[in-house]
Amino acid sequence: MDTWVFHHPACLAHEPGPGHPEAPQRLQSVMKALRQPEFSQLTWREAPLGTREQVLLVHHAEYVDAIAAAAPGRGLVALDGGDTLMSPGTWEAVMRCVGAACAGVDAVMAGEAANAFCATRPCGHHAEPDRAMGFCIFNQAAIAAVHALETHGLQRVAVVDFDVHHGNGTQAACFHRPQLFFASSHQSPLYPGTGAAHESGASGNIVNLPLPPGCGSTLFRSAVARELLPALRRFAPELIVVSAGFDAHRCDPLASMALEDEDFAWITREVMAIAGEACEGRIVSILEGGYSVEGLLGGSAAHVRALMGH
């Protein structure tokens, strides 16, 4: 079985405006990396459109309706005071994100793909059940996890988030669901200000690993190995969803951690080892943040190279 990559050109049509960090060039950088000859064994799949029913697995109906109604025919619409904007191409982009995440789960659960990477945007892990935040509109990682529970009858699904920002929206979706486990490594203090170590979920199903500004490879790896990985192993997931943000890279302009490309490969391999023990290697990875071309090129390539077993 191969690693599958889900992508759709519509994800480039989300245009939040000049100077916005969450620009189409982000995904173009990832695509440039994955089109190199060393990735010729990847299996590419078109990201399908997600459905309203899939979005409703996590988000409130009133919120989904409000986002659909806000989608502009021209110009930009601000959803949260200016960070998160919709352009005419945004609605299809976010629905392709949802569709890719759920299709990735389906492919991995069917044994068609060894694992999957969703090369989509915008990111989603800040989106809460009832509001857009931090460039995120629908939370595709949380939707993928609940889709695995509801559609495939799983009892334990984990979400591992190594984006530099805390995935507050994913935490909110998991907080009262003991079948879900959420683990996040992130810089603190930093937007959105959540993710303290004491935030552990209604049933101890959340592990937050706040890391200081300037955190580099040694501290990152030791903290992840000491706290995040053992908790993930104890949970014994039947599927792992990864929120793969590359903004903890030393080059990223929106944060101040100092990870290298190989750190993203390392955490990917460590999560894969647990997936190999617990759930036949089933992993669905979803692109989150990353706002440096160099960081996205190198980080995403290292991550997918590890998913391929290289």
Helix (H, G, I), strand (E, B) or coil at 164: coil
CB atoms within 10 A of CB 262: 13
Candidates 241, 218, 244, 224; CA nearest to 300 is 244
CA distance linking residue 298 with residue 269, whole number of Å = 16
125, 126, 165, 186: the catalytic one is: 126
Cα 161 to Cα 140: distance, rounded to the nearest angstrom: 12
> Are the CB atoms for 243 and 162 separated by under 8 Å?
yes
**Regarding beta strands 157-161 and 239-244, do their DSSP bridges make them parallel or antiparallel, or are they unpaired?**
parallel
Q: Where are the alpha helices (DSSP H) in the chain?
A: 24-34, 52-55, 61-70, 90-109, 140-152, 168-174, 217-223, 229-235, 261-278, 293-307
Cα separation of 73 and 268, whole Å?
Answer: 40
**In the annotation, is 166 catalytic?**
no
User: Exposed, middle or buried by CB within 10 Å (0-12, 13-18, 19+), for 166?
Assistant: buried
Question: How many Å apart are CA 248 and CA 302, to the nearest integer?
Answer: 14
The four Cα atoms 239, 244, 131, 80 give a dihedral, to 10 degrees, of 180
Cα of 80 vs its chain's centroid, Å: 20
Residue 81: CB atoms within 10 A of its CB come to: 7
Active site residues: 126
